[in-house]
Amino acid sequence: MANSALFAHSLQDWIGIGPLWVWAAVSAVVILYAIALPFAGIATYVERKVSADMQDRFGPNRVGPFGILQFIADFVKMLAKQDFIPQGADRILFSLAPILVLAGACAAFAVLPLSKYFLGADMNIGILYALAVTTLIAPGLLLGSWASQNKWSLLGGLRAAAQIISYEIPVALSIFPAILISGTLQIGQIVETQGWVWSAQAGTDYHFWNAFHNPFCFLAMFLLFVGGLAETNRIPFDLPEAESELVSGFSTEFSGMRFGLYALAEFVDIFVMSSIVVALYLGGWQLPFINIDQLSDSIPTLLVAFIQLGCFLVKVFMLVFVVMWLRWTLPRLRVDQLMAACWKGLVPLALVNLLGTAVWMWAFNGRSIAQLVLGPMVN
């Protein structure tokens, strides 16, 4: 643990050099070009391969080995396309809207606990910050659609705003059970409370993932994932850009890199949503039956940090794959079904989960199912 403390202390000293705005700019560049762009590009390739496999075809296989460089070709094509702005459109809002959507998605990276040592800002209201900055997506979609001077775009933007604002309620309610269990709003601390801790004096302390803390939390994790799926406008909740109804919805009039920013923001938002589900309910960088933090006593702390990063990313990529899988499996809902699913289904269930978790914490003194079953083994 001494190596761990030394690593964290030296990192804080290193970051403390220079003005804060410099590090903010550097962080923004790193998030955009080292994380967001590569992930979005590779995710588009993987999704096209997954869809091709489900439809019994090859998918991208021309550019690079196995078509792996196809996303780079698509990126170059978007840069080379004409930057078209419709006549009569609000040029300022039309140009600002995609940037606003991407900024809202990328800003959440500041509090994502990729590892105990790869955490931008473990602020004491981290989860509230993530909810706040991601709400920039809704006005970004609405402004872009309204500024396009296109009726199909406006309908898509109105759908997006109504959908995102509505599903934010069950998403927020599904986050609170994890907060009740951990007793904190810091995402990093929520992850740490889900670790498997061994103490020679106290015996074994059975802290497991929040998804299995009690039956209500497992359902809350499912509702959080479904609500996040709706907020990212993915099938079966892709009504804002329904091609069969609205041409392409809010992005109909966008071309070139502006359209690329919308696509990039969608995949970044999927990553953020999956990361929040993993951090709150699936243990984050933690593994069951293993205390990764104790590995720093025998191996370099930097290696421990990358092991934690790998554990976190594997879980996130598994959820991202589920998002892609659902797109090519489920049909699109109707608008009335979409809103009914939120207000008549997810919201009441989320309230039940919140109340049930509170009653469970009071009735069993905060102990999980594992602690109740294995409690006699604890000294």
In a domain, 275, yes or no: yes
Same domain for 51 and 145: no
Same domain for 270 and 228: yes
| pLDDT value for 205 | 54
In a domain, 361, yes or no: yes
Same domain for 171 and 119: yes
In a domain, 18, yes or no: no
Tokens of 89: 């459109």
285: Cβ–Cβ under 8 A, 6 or more apart, which residues? 113, 114, 115, 116, 191, 292, 308, 309, 311, 312
Same domain for 117 and 44: no
**Helix axes of 37-54 and 301-327: crossing angle, nearest 10 degrees:** 40
Same domain for 201 and 59: no
**Which residue's structure tokens are 């109707």?**
334
In a domain, 11, yes or no: no
Predicted TM-score (pTM) of the model is 0.86
Same domain for 63 and 173: no
In a domain, 287, yes or no: yes
Domain region containing 64: 23-80
Cβ neighbours of 265 (radius 10 Å)? 26
pLDDT-above-90 percentage for the chain: 15
- pLDDT of 41-81, one tens digit each? 888 888 888 888 888 888 888 888 888 888 888 888 888 88
Same domain for 176 and 43: no
Same domain for 140 and 33: no
Same domain for 100 and 63: no
Q: Are 278 and 308 in contact (CB under 8 A)?
A: no
Give the domain-ending residue among 55, 80, 105.
80
Q: Which amino acid is at 117?
A: Y
Q: Where are the beta strands (DSSP E) in the chain?
A: 197-199, 203-205
Tokens of 110: 């500041």
pLDDT-above-70 percentage for the chain: 85
Calpha distance 285→274 (Å, rounded): 13
Q: Are 166 and 342 in contact (CB under 8 A)?
A: yes
Q: Which amino acid is at 196?
A: W
- pLDDT of 14-32, one tens digit each? 445 555 556 566 666 776 6
Same domain for 157 and 295: yes
Q: Where are the beta strands (DSSP E) in 62-212?
A: 197-199, 203-205
In which band, very low, low, confident or very high, does the pLDDT at 196 lie, cut at 50, 70 and 90?
A: low
In a domain, 329, yes or no: yes
Same domain for 144 and 42: no
Same domain for 227 and 302: yes
If one counts the domains in the chain, the total is 2
Calpha distance 256→75 (Å, rounded): 9
